[in-house]
Chain A
Amino acid sequence: MMTIKQVGEILNAEVLTAPDKTDKLDMEVDSACGADLMSDVLAFSAGHSLLLTGLLNLQAIRTAEMMDMRAVVFVRGKRPTQDIIDLANDRDVILMTTKYNLYAACGMLYINGLH
């Protein structure tokens, strides 16, 4: 269990969604899922509240939305386009970007207690 803010600190991540959503950074996440394949996320991540992915498109946000996830972290320093950020703001999904790759980012959260 950790807050979204702590996730951001561990991954040295930049928050991309609107500043008026920053109170949401205190929300807690209790488990995470790392995948580039959205069907896998839809199949196996019920109850997970954080998605780490290298997939940079609107479908990643929609997948998070369908699964009631609170935040999406884009890996390898990928920066989403404004339409992706707008959709995330609209759906109350927090977006972050980290320089780490998917494997490393998941590992760092895991050793810090997020399973």
Chain B
Amino acid sequence: MKLSYTVLEGEYARAGEASSAVKKVLKQLAVPANVIRKIAVAMFEAEINMVIHANGGVIDVDILPDKVFIQLVDTGPGIPDIEKAKQEGFSTASDEARDLGFGAGMGIPNMMKNSDFFNIKSEVGKGTTVEIAVNL
């Protein structure tokens, strides 16, 4: 099953709607709750990042018999040093992001912790692509 979502620029209040929709679908498919939670947390953090660090983007979700694969593509500012961005506590988040309850530099570590496959590629000035897979 393939699902696709557009995340809009600056829509702070709606950030997380796509993750919530995916969670609902996985529940209907009777995926175990602890597996759904891993997928939901990883995708939610990545979706939030698209809004607070980039200018929105597109999320494609592929639900396969043995895994869920999520690709998040944005055309934001990109990440100059990915190894640094992966470290716990590293954050360039704005005050606006912090007011949302994010921006403590735990997002990418949370994504890595909750996924069975994680890949992030980024080019400064072009954008960022995050790929997350969780085994079912």
Contact = CB atoms under 8 A, between A and B. Distances in A.
Contacts of A91: 20
Contacts of B107: 39
Contacts of A58: 13, 16
A46 B110 CA distance: 12
A59 B16 contact: yes
Nearest to A37: B104
Interface of A: 36-40, 42-43, 46, 53, 55, 57-60, 62-63, 65-68, 83, 91
A113 B107 CA distance: 32
B106 interface: yes
Given A38-B102, A68-B33, A68-B37, A43 B109 contact: yes
User: On chain B, which size bracket covers the interface?
Assistant: 20 to 34
B121 interface: no
A60 B23 contact: no
Interface in B56-113: 99-104, 106-107, 109-110, 113
Q: Could you tell me the dominant secondary structure of chain B's interface residues?
A: helix
A83 to B, nearest CB: 8
A62 B44 contact: yes
Nearest to B113: A43
Q: Could you tell me the dominant secondary structure of chain A's interface residues?
A: helix
Contact of B40 (A36, A57, A66, A83): A66
Contacts of B103: 39
Contact of B110 (A42, A57, A59, A60): A42
Contacts of B110: 39, 42-43
B23 A66 contact: yes
A39 B106 contact: yes
A42 B41 contact: yes
Nearest to A91: B20
B37 to A, nearest CB: 6
